Chain A
Amino acid sequence: DIQMTQSPSTLSASVGDRVTITCRASQSVNSWLAWYQQKPGKAPHLLIYKASSLDSGVPSRFSGSGSGTEFTLTISSLQPDDFATYYCQQYNDYSGTFGQGTKVEIK
């Protein structure tokens, strides 16, 4: 089974900061990697698919990069609405493992 490891687990940042979250896969997932945002009591919301493609309606301050085993989600200028938990998910080979999540908190 492919394992996904996110870092950090928690991130404290201020409005306007540039934020980077890393996701590592235990084996190559090519570019089959998605990023989701989840707020308390709500379903996850797709931000990025295929490692770097922005889903429709997602602000351009979000970007994704990487391939193989190492991926990053970057928020170029953190906004108040961005304080949430972020998950990566690999979907290579018809499986769908999630990372453990990264909580972005107000500093």
Chain B
Amino acid sequence: QVQLQESGPGLVKPSQTLSLTCTVSGGSISSGGPYWSWIRQHPVKGLEWIGYIYYSGRTYYNPSLKSRLTISVDTSKNQLSLKLSSVTAADTAVYYCASAGRLGELSLRYWGQGTLVTVSS
């Protein structure tokens, strides 16, 4: 079974770039997806979809974040990454990576445990 683990700084200063990595185990990026996703959850709030990436690198972004967002995959390291630039306090959230785990599906079957990122000076 695919397992995912998010990692990255827990504290980012306003205006800087938030960078997170999701390490995949128990399967490869190509077979364990093939679609992968980042989702975030603001404190005591609901879920917000950030974007999808196909294992080959094709991306689909939330229009509200698109201008600041880069999602990529590194198949050699079995990792995906998220970069969100020009962050503000509104970007404080728990960030999850997830995978579809089924061909032809974008529903998210496998999730990481999430990592809290706080934007503060």
Contacts and interface: CB of A to CB of B under 8 A. Distances in A.
Contacts of B107: 34, 46, 49-50, 89, 91
A62 interface: no
Interface string B40-51: 000000111100
B88 to A, nearest CB: 21
A90 B106 CA distance: 9
A44 B108 contact: yes
Given A32-B106, A46-B109, A49-B105, A1 B63 contact: yes
B52 A101 contact: no
B55 interface: no
Interface in B6-36: none
Given A89-B47, A95-B60, A96-B39, 20 more contacts: A1-B63, A36-B47, A43-B111, A43-B112, A44-B39, A44-B108, A44-B111, A46-B108, A49-B107, A50-B105, A87-B47, A89-B107, A94-B106, A95-B49, A96-B37, A96-B52, A97-B49, A98-B47, A100-B46, A101-B47
Interface of B: 37, 39, 46-49, 52, 60, 62-63, 96, 98, 102, 105-109, 111-114
